[in-house]
Structure 1
């Protein structure tokens, strides 16, 4: 069955091009801002603070990080405006996207009164969100100037919670959730978005920083070994959060395995799952093959091998992950509606047995991630023993 026929038979409406571009760009902007600030705080900054690093390497990476953050602010600001216009276009009876771009239309939308039964106007929520978005974008864009770059730590660490707030504020419901399921939907949706943007955005930042290898000294391999090690932990946490929240959302929106290829929502979800699993496989290659060899080269004080592994081999795999991550963001706009509603399946209800099964899956996932770390360490020790 062709995709067009599948969409028609299931009552699925393919989003217009402007909706695909605005939503994908918005999540790309979030990935750049959230992913870069979190990765800088959790991996780059601690690695740069090591006293063993050369001053030239530190300055080169700080300068490139500042420029990356600055352009992330530009992308977030532009993408945020188009995303807001998309909300205006879809509000009420709707209007052409071109008309929704007018500042007057946007301002009217933001000032619209609250709906009956709402505790706050939806436009007010988006107004607060976009005020925060403008503030964080302005802070990041300031890093284009040399005077602001001297305060990189302060700006990045201040921007971090604000970038996360951009996503969280938009998720605040204008009407109180009617049951616990609605609350969990909001919670897991935000966990999915934030962990996914940290994962993709962090990979993009580090892959970009690795391109500065020509300006780094011979001892930069040790710095990057520490940097990749720190980010590997961040990525593992993100993978766990993405998979956990993804399981919840899949259960809510897909009633059976067959709906993955008999409904349009399921079809696009299947593509997204395949792309995410490919990212996990690439990350597993880094964790099980590259990280042990990096650890062994570091202990053996093999400068040449360390530079080759950390600044040439590792980034090549990471760029592949970035490409897969961007493909995931391109699929997201197509995930509208629900496979259950397309197939006429009843909506799921939370129960004690469902909660127990979900808890067991989460515990299994946590255990598998813990085993992943331990296995990687064991492989590194085996490399040491195998080295004459």
Structure 2
């Protein structure tokens, strides 16, 4: 493996490194010598990450205390996974600098460089909007499959909702690509389109993003396909496309640090799918389907739908809890200490509080008002209460999906650098 094996002698007591080191989802585990150490200019220094790196966006420049570049050999990035820690390695001189966390990996900052807060904030906002749009599109597809006797007007309305949500999701996903590129390259979003090509063709994120875009395009085409294709078949294939898009998100998340198609990546994919199903059903049903059914459908059709809704939401919630516990345990490294001593843990606490609120609201509907809707000759009072609580739960769901976006942009509590 190539290293910085030649440093000019007499360059000063400390070798200072600037540039960018970006893993796709990894954290610096060891540095030798340690960052900031006052040492003679070393022959070479090794930085070991616990995840793969993005070679196209990783670089090192070694300079002496006066700022003069002294390295004569370009740092080589080795993206290979090395057992047993699945580590990517960057070899180069690293004395006198430190690594700082950004939402998408470790970045070695030049002196005085600061991540634009607006870029990070914009990235979080776009991710939150994308989470809500994805959930609404999934929920609308599931509602179409659950509505056996819905009017053509209701079916057409749901299919339009799917199409609008997915088209808007494509726009949000493109914006997310620009923010991601800005965070990796250090430029302002959209300021330097020349870096988009290596981002798409030479990075792990680019491969995952491109796969997700293809899935979204297929999803849009299915949502506007002629009725001759059959509603159940179209929605089923559309949900498969949604699952592919969800996996592209998992492949560019914290879970990707464990490796492509690893167990953490699959479990996070299931968590994304289950959360979208649970949240999407609640949001679309509370804000669109249930008001329409109360105005158009019979009491029997209404009772049939809310029964299916409650069962599907309960099943999705169970999957969310199982996969969420696994993700939380991995993010906290099996310890409860980071819950109170890391930003990731505090945000996770907020998300858990919102999930508990949604469970309580859903439980009230399932245990109190659903039996009344099924028993009563007149469903108006019970259905009205069910709908009011469902709307409140939909608001909580939007909060859960937004909090998930913040978590995705925060260093996990399992890493000491994320502790406060």
Tell whether the structures are fold-level matches, with TM greater than 0.5.
Answer: yes
- Give the superposition deviation at 1:65: 1.6
Match for residue 20 of structure 1 among 124, 135, 145: 124
- Give the superposition deviation at 1:196: 0.3
Q: Distance in 2 between matches of 1:69 and 1:262?
A: 41
Q: Deviations over 1:325-382 (max 9, x none)?
A: 111122123222111213789xxxxxxxxxxxxxxxxxxxxxxxxxxxxxxxxxxxxx
Q: Distance in 1 between matches of 2:275 and 2:169?
A: 16
Q: Distance in 2 between matches of 1:282 and 1:139?
A: 34
Q: How does 1:146-295 map to 2 (within 5 A)?
A: 152-172=231-251, 183-207=262-286, 208-213=288-293, 215-216=295-296, 220-254=298-332, 255-295=334-374
Match for residue 218 of structure 2 among 103, 120, 135: 135
Q: How does 1:3-42 map to 2 (within 5 A)?
A: 16-41=120-145
Corresponding residue SS for 1:257: coil
Q: Deviations over 1:167-208 (max 9, x none)?
A: 12443489xx89799822112211111100111111122121
2:200 and 2:210 in contact (8 A); partners too: yes
Q: Distance in 2 between matches of 1:71 and 1:182?
A: 31
Q: Distance in 1 between matches of 2:228 and 2:159?
A: 6
2:131 and 2:405 in contact (8 A); partners too: no
Number of equivalences: 300
Richer in helix (by share): 1
Q: Distance in 1 between matches of 2:175 and 2:205?
A: 18
- Change in 2 beyond 3 A, CA 1:278/1:89: same
- Change in 2 beyond 3 A, CA 1:242/1:107: same
1:111 has 2:205 as partner:
no
Return 5+ residue gaps in structure 1 as ranges: 1-10, 49-56, 115-120, 346-388
2:137 and 2:166 in contact (8 A); partners too: yes
For 1:96, the equivalent position in structure 2 comes to 188
TM-score (norm. length: structure 1): 0.68
- Change in 2 beyond 3 A, CA 1:340/1:249: same
1:29 and 1:79 in contact (8 A); partners too: no
Return 5+ residue gaps in structure 2 as ranges: 1-99, 104-116
TM-score (norm. length: structure 2): 0.64
Q: Distance in 1 between matches of 2:130 and 2:198?
A: 22
Q: Distance in 1 between matches of 2:348 and 2:338?
A: 10
Richer in strand (by share): 2
- Change in 2 beyond 3 A, CA 1:173/1:85: closer
